[in-house]
Structures are given as structure tokens and as C-alpha cells.
Chains A and B, each alone.
Chain A
Amino acid sequence: MAKHTLIAYVEDVPGVLNRVASLFRRRNFNIDSLTVGRTEQPGVSRLTVVVDATEAGARIVEANLYKLVNVLRVDDLTHKPSLFRELGLVKVRVTPETRAQVLQLTEVFRARVVDVDEATLVIEVTGTPEKVGKFELVLQPYGIVEIVRTGAVAMARGHELMSAAPPLVRTDVGADHHTDASGVSMSV
């Protein structure tokens, strides 16, 4: 199992998010994060989905996304040179003694303070999901009051266009996803 980042371009019509979410739920795919936003093209939204899957599992997720009539295109960025970004807001407890330390960590992570009061700081951090996670970790000892993360968005590097054709399912990925027999449906 590994994290796979898929970009799905979908028609911006009512219910489309529901269709994607329903697919992941009923096929038992593990979503790590899912973000949606507009694109440069009117009427087209862009979803970034991070799933926990084997290589073969990721292909099945991809094929299933393509089965949704409103899905225009799917790109798997996992093995392509790509940029991954996430934004987090962390509200952390500070005392006169710890304030300087927290500010220093903020500096190190190139994060910035966006709100201050006598007992807390709200810090905005952007970067790869790993970096945001790390930042959360180092602030934990000070007492995190609240945290919100957007989930990852991603974009391939470079100027080459992604192929618009859906890749055909690869079959050279081995048997690493073999379903446990105990998972087989057992109803009459």
C-alpha cells in the first residue's frame, strides 16, 4: 500500500461530488484526502484525490473513476514529477515562555502567524502534506487548540500536457492486491 495522488477532471454539474464520494465508499477505496476546485476551463472542476492503494488498486480506482459519466479525465501523478501542496491553519497555545520558541519554529517552517492573542497563535503553513504534518507534530508539545488542513492539491511539473486518453489498465503489476478469501461474499 502506498499513497496515490489522482487528479480527476469532472463536469461541474449538481451531484458530481456525491458520485465520486459514493464510488469510493461502495468500492471500499481508502480516501486520504479529497479536494475540489475550479479549473481554467469553465464548467470543469478539478478533484485531487489521495488514496491508499497498491499499484493495481490504484489502476482499479482510476478505471472506476472513468466509469462515472461526468468524469472527463483522470491523471495519476504518483510517478510523475509533480508539485503537492497543502495549507494548514494551526491554533496553538502559547505562554510568555513558549511564544518565542513557537515563533522560531514558524520561521523554520516558513509558516506565518495570522492571528495573535494573549494565549494562542494561529499559524498558516503551506507545503507538502508531509511538511504540514511535521509542523503539526512539532507544535503538539505546546498544545494544539485547533487545526484545519485543506488536503493536498497537486499539479504536474513542466509544460507537457497530460494525455487526454485514459491509459489502459496495465497488467504487469503483479498480484499484490490479492483479495483475502475471507472477504469473499458469502450470501446465498
Chain B
Amino acid sequence: MKLTGAEIIWECLQKEGVDVVFGYPGGAILPTYDAMTKYPKIHHVLVRHEQGATHMADGYARASGKVGVAIATSGPGATNMITGIATAMMDSSPIVCITGQVGSKAIGTDAFQETDVTGVSLPVTKHNYLVTRPGDIARAIREAFYIAKSGRPGPVLVDITKDAQQMTAEFDWEGAAPRLPGYRPSYHAPASEYERAAELINSAKRPLILAGQGILKSGTTDEVLKLAKDAGIPITTTLLGIGVIPASSPLNLGMMGMHGEAWVNQAIQQADLLIALGMRFDDRVTGNLKTYALNAKKIHVDIDPSEINKNVPVDIALIGDLREVLAVIAPQVKKAEHAEWWTTINAMRGDAAVRDIQSLPDNGHLYAAHVINDLWRLTQKRDTIVVTDVGQHQMWEAQYYRHDQPRSLITSGGLGTMGFALPAAIGAKFACPEKDVWVVCGDGGFQMTSCELATAEQEGIKVNVAIINNSFLGMVRQWQEFFYDKRYAATPMTGPDFVKLAEAYRLKGLRCNKRSDVKATVDSTLAAKGTVVIDFVVEKEDTVFPMVPAGADLDKMIRRPKQDVMLESGSDKDWEMPAAPVRPAANGQAKAAVKAPKAAKKPAAAVPSRGPKTTKSNRR
């Protein structure tokens, strides 16, 4: 069947099971947009900026596990996509981006809106294609989808010249099957490595599982939990591992790293075995590599061999699909309790469990941590996806919103892309229309992509936007507070009246600046029909604790200074975190668990109230 290249694009998308694409038209992609009218089964979402299209495709992919699709024109359309593509690359999110390119004869002439898009996107894509002939389109798109979702997922870009879209070719789906002789999505570790790994696990006294996003990608939450339970191994998650292991699981200690739980970081430093599952020892979780987990042997399970020994030298690498690896290793692992190790961890938890939220003065001011914890309480019974932006609110969300479901937190971890949240949430809503989708963002990041409110309005979809408005680029201000003597260069920030802004987009806007109003605000947001924007006006100079300064030793955390703690008011009882469940069931050490919350009433040991004044690490 002869079709135009443009029609072939849509045929392929349909065959790949695509039901929604996010895009923005322009000259070089016009033939494809024109052909779109013949394919009503695929819904096109008109975005307001191509960065938004890529974040939406990304949010869609992360919420659904399917491939997200974004479309843009040549030149500026394509370059606008780069941030979103890099974001997807760093977090291994499967998206396919289709861009128009100038006519094949014009390539290399600096034609109007010509950019070397395959060149520009090369370092931030898993793979990319420049297609100049209509007959090559189908195979490029099929391969793009296959590469994007297989192995370690990632973004793939297909740049298609305008003439290739216009000319006709035979559409042969079968004949366009991927031919990728050099592509190795997965590996299989040799049996001997498994034996060595099992031996290490069985002989460990203080083992710890580091749970990353790979568990989500391989869908092995249950398998990991079972392994941990049987072998008595505590689990800690990365930021992208949040929700993959339920927060309510007694095996889950919480998040590790820069703003992770203090006792988790201490546990990492004291462990004698780290079992890293689908995580990559990012600098945000290791701190100073020279002092990182020196007491521990390391087993690293990852699908990507290039991650092995990249940051942290490991003793055993099990390269492959986590599902396969767990299936082989689990039967070789002996039952264990590690009671002593749990007691040690619980003791550290007792000391460290003063969650910031419990130490905040209840002086009527609104604190971000309260907003987020309230939000969790008010939404936990509903099927909710939270999409966060980047900054302080992102860390507070990770700390105070307890995620029990995989894919219930979507956040830009690796690239830390401000402006991610709103568009990614729109994408997530298209993936899961039946779920509530919340955006938690800062006033800074929100202003980067707030134009996508118009997209939400035009599409008639409901996302609930909680702006944690501190009138600062909060996280940067925090660094300035700690490491630059409070010289707040370019971090105080104004914004529009967010309520009026929402109204200007014909959406509902709400403002909340009192803790007692949070519930009513959230309730009325949930009750409203369309997208709602809430301006939570919070304490301006609040700080995320604990914090491991960049490049510092993992257990050298800055904790909330003593003088800020006003526990004695005693009015925060309702807002305590649930009593920490500490031990997996069926052990005689439950005492420590009961004790923990009490000990938690003590303020955190006041470690230097200021960060190191200037360290080498302050270089950016």
C-alpha cells in the first residue's frame, strides 16, 4: 500500500499502540500534521512550548510504563525539546520524539529553521535517526520504539525531512521490523557470579538493600520485598525508588542520600554489605566517594554494564534484568533475621527520628512540610499520583508524603529539571485519567512552564497544582544560607498573583496561608471540576533538613539547629509521623520499635547549625 511518509508516521504510531501524542506544529512538520486529520484514533495534545511536550510524554511514560510520544517542528521546535529529552535520558524514561527537518536537498545550507537536530540531541538520547526517504520511516520508528522501551529505557529521536513526509512509499510494517545487530538490551550474568553473590548475602551481618528505579522498570517490588523479608534485610530507596517499596513496609527505612533520613545514611556507612538493585550510585546518594560505605562489600545489580564501577567500585556485578537476577538468586539466599543489625538501626532511628515536621513551631505560619504531610493525609485513601518539580518542595515531598504505590511519585531526579512538574503531570493525567494527579512545585519552577495551564484548560483535564510559594528560589537560597554566608544573590523572587493567573486561564485559583485552612483548600480542590491552582503561601526561609553538603561524607549531615526547635508547645501531636514500624514481623525485638517515637520527641543532636563555611565542594 503506497502512503505518504506523513501517513506512514501515523500508521506506525497506531501500530505501536499510541493513543495520545503531545506536540506543536510548524513548517517542517506540517505534512505530518495535515495527515493527522486522517487518524482520529490518536489524540493530539497541543502544548504551549515544546519542552512541555517532552515532559508530558515523559510523565505519560512514567505513569503508564508505556512509551510517550512528542512531536515538534525543525529548528527551534526541536531545540526546545532538548531539556525534556535530557530529563528523560537521565531518568531512563522511554519517550520517542518525532521532529520535522528541512527538505533533504536543503540540509547543510543553513536553510530557514534548519538545525542539526541529530547532532544536538546525540549526547542526550539513547539513539537517534535522521530519515530522508519515506521508505525508511517505518523502520526508524519501529526501532525507535523498541530501543526506547527495551533494556535500560531512554529517549529516542527521529528527525524526518519534510520531503520524506511528502513523498510516497510502500508501507510495509512487517518488512520494517527492527534490524539492530549491535543493540544489546540485556545481559546475563554468569552462574559463578550468582554463587559468589549468594555467599556474600548469606554471610553478611549488616546487609542493606539500596532500592532504585530499576525495581520499578522490572516490576519486581514483590520479589524484592520477599527477598528482604526472608533474609531480614532492611531496604532504603533512592529518590526515584520512592513508592517502588511501600513507605508503610516495615522493611523500608526511607530515602537515602543528600536529604535522606539520617539513620539511613548512618546505616549505609555501617553496613557490611550493600545490595544495590537498579540504582546507580549518583553523587546525590553517595556524598564523598572516598568515605562512602567503606565497611561494606557491594553487589551491584543493573541492566546497564556501563554503570558498574562507574562511581563506586563493587565486589560483584550481576548485569541483567532484575527480574531474572532475583529469580536466580532468591533460592540461594538463606533465611536470616539479623536481629542485632535491626537493633542497631532502630537505635539510630530513635536518635534521629525527630522529623522536621515535629519540630516546627506551631505559630500559625504555614510550613511546606505541613502542607505536604497534610496533603498526604487528605489524599492517601485516593488513587493519587504526585508530580513534583525541583527544589526544596521536592525534598519535602519525598520526606513527608508517604508513597505506597509504584508510579505514584513522578519527579525529575537525575537532571533536576525545574519546570518539569506541570507538563509531566498533564502527561500523567492522560496516562491515568482515573487517578488524581497533583503537582507539587515551587513558585520558581512553576513560572518556568506555567503556560501549560492553558493546555490543561483546553484539554479539559484536571490536575491539582499546589504551589509551595516561598517567594524564593528556595533550594538555591538554602545553599546560599549554608555555604555563601546568606548572600541571597538572585534568589528572592516575585511572581504573579497565582490565583488571578489561574482565573485568567479560566481555571479555579485558591490561596492558603494558614495551617488550619489546608484541609478546606484541598477538599475544595478535589471537589472542583477542572484544574485548580493553589497558592500555598509558606514560610519564606525554611530549610530542608537533614542535609549532606555536596561532596561531604554521607553521615556528616547538617541537622536542624536546636534553637529552632519548639517541641514543648505539644500541639503537634496530630501531625506526628506514624509510629515508626521498625522490625519485620515475627521477631523478638519489637521493643525498640515502640520506643522510637518517644525518643523522637527529643530534638536532633545539634550538629553544626551552619554548614561548613566554604568547602572545596562549593565550586559549581
A residues near B112, Cβ cutoff 8 Å? none
Interface residues of B in 94-122 (CB under 8 A from A): 118-119, 122
Task: Evaluate contact between A15 and B190: CB separation under 8 angstroms.
Answer: no
CB distance from B544 to the nearest CB of A (A): 11
Please judge, given known A-B contacts A174-B313, A181-B290, A186-B550, whether A63 and B184 are in contact too, CB under 8 Å: no
Task: Evaluate contact between B187 and A166: CB separation under 8 angstroms.
Answer: yes
Task: Evaluate contact between B189 and A184: CB separation under 8 angstroms.
Answer: no
Q: Which of A22, A26, A177, A184 has the most CB of B within 10 A?
A: A184
Interface residues of B in 124-167 (CB under 8 A from A): 126-127, 130, 147
Please judge, given known A-B contacts A69-B182, A184-B283, A184-B550, whether A15 and B127 are in contact too, CB under 8 Å: no
Bound state CA distance, A66 and B618, in angstroms? 35
Report A142-175 CB contacts with B as 1/0, cut-off 8 Å: 0000000000000000000000001011010111
> What count of chain B residues pass the 8 Å CB interface test?
45
Contact of A178 among B119, B289, B319, B550 (CB under 8 A): B289
Task: Evaluate contact between B289 and A181: CB separation under 8 angstroms.
Answer: yes
Task: Evaluate contact between A72 and B182: CB separation under 8 angstroms.
Answer: yes
Report B280-314 CB contacts with A as 1/0, cut-off 8 Å: 00010000111000000000000011101111011
Task: Evaluate contact between A18 and B122: CB separation under 8 angstroms.
Answer: yes
CB distance from A178 to the nearest CB of B (A): 6
Residue B316 is within 8 A (CB to CB) of chain A in the complex = yes
Report B604-620 CB contacts with A as 1/0, cut-off 8 Å: 00000000000011111
B residues near A70, Cβ cutoff 8 Å? 182
A residues near B619, Cβ cutoff 8 Å? 182, 186
Bound state CA distance, A152 and B476, in angstroms? 49
Bound state CA distance, A96 and B418, in angstroms? 71
Residue A91 is within 8 A (CB to CB) of chain B in the complex = no
Residue of A nearest to B479 (CB): A188
B residues near A56, Cβ cutoff 8 Å? 309, 313
Contact of B620 among A22, A59, A66, A186 (CB under 8 A): A186
Report B469-480 CB contacts with A as 1/0, cut-off 8 Å: 000000110010
Please judge, given known A-B contacts A60-B309, A181-B290, A182-B616, whether A72 and B181 are in contact too, CB under 8 Å: yes
Task: Evaluate contact between B475 and A188: CB separation under 8 angstroms.
Answer: yes
Task: Evaluate contact between B551 and A182: CB separation under 8 angstroms.
Answer: yes
Task: Evaluate contact between B130 and A15: CB separation under 8 angstroms.
Answer: yes
Residue A141 is within 8 A (CB to CB) of chain B in the complex = no
Task: Evaluate contact between A178 and B130: CB separation under 8 angstroms.
Answer: no
Contact of A168 among B182, B319, B550 (CB under 8 A): B319
CB distance from A40 to the nearest CB of B (A): 16
Task: Evaluate contact between B618 and A67: CB separation under 8 angstroms.
Answer: no
Task: Evaluate contact between A60 and B182: CB separation under 8 angstroms.
Answer: no
Residue A14 is within 8 A (CB to CB) of chain B in the complex = yes
CB distance from B139 to the nearest CB of A (A): 13
A residues near B317, Cβ cutoff 8 Å? 168-169, 171
Residue B17 is within 8 A (CB to CB) of chain A in the complex = no
Residue A136 is within 8 A (CB to CB) of chain B in the complex = no
CB distance from A167 to the nearest CB of B (A): 9
Bound state CA distance, A168 and B616, in angstroms? 36
Contact of B310 among A18, A60, A73 (CB under 8 A): A60
Bound state CA distance, A166 and B620, in angstroms? 37
Interface residues of B in 67-91 (CB under 8 A from A): none
Residue B123 is within 8 A (CB to CB) of chain A in the complex = yes
Residue of A nearest to B302 (CB): A169
Bound state CA distance, A125 and B617, in angstroms? 49
Contact of B180 among A63, A69, A187, A188 (CB under 8 A): A69
Bound state CA distance, A2 and B311, in angstroms? 20
Residue of A nearest to B391 (CB): A188
CB distance from A68 to the nearest CB of B (A): 7
Interface residues of A in 12-62 (CB under 8 A from B): 14-15, 18-19, 22, 26, 56, 59-60
B residues near A171, Cβ cutoff 8 Å? 308-309, 313-317
Residue A86 is within 8 A (CB to CB) of chain B in the complex = no
Task: Evaluate contact between A168 and B305: CB separation under 8 angstroms.
Answer: yes
B residues near A188, Cβ cutoff 8 Å? 416, 475-476, 479, 620
Bound state CA distance, A11 and B129, in angstroms? 14
Residue A82 is within 8 A (CB to CB) of chain B in the complex = no
Please judge, given known A-B contacts A22-B123, A71-B182, A188-B475, whether A179 and B616 are in contact too, CB under 8 Å: no
Measured CB to CB, the residues of B under 8 A from A are 118-119, 122-123, 126-127, 130, 147, 180-184, 187, 189-190, 193, 283, 288-290, 304-306, 308-311, 313-317, 319, 416, 475-476, 479, 550-551, 616-620
Measured CB to CB, the residues of A under 8 A from B are 10-11, 14-15, 18-19, 22, 26, 56, 59-60, 63-64, 66-73, 166, 168-169, 171, 173-175, 177-179, 181-182, 184-188
What 7 pairs across the A-B complex have the smallest Cβ distances?
A63-B306, A63-B305, A72-B182, A169-B308, A175-B313, A184-B283, A69-B127
A-B contact pairs, 16 of them (CB 8 A): A11-B182, A15-B118, A15-B130, A18-B122, A22-B122, A67-B306, A69-B182, A72-B181, A168-B189, A168-B190, A168-B193, A169-B319, A171-B309, A178-B290, A182-B616, A184-B550
Given contacts A14-B130, A63-B308, A188-B475, could you give 13 more A-B pairs where the C-beta distance is less than 8 Å? A18-B119, A22-B122, A63-B304, A69-B182, A69-B183, A70-B182, A168-B305, A175-B313, A177-B313, A179-B289, A181-B290, A186-B550, A188-B416
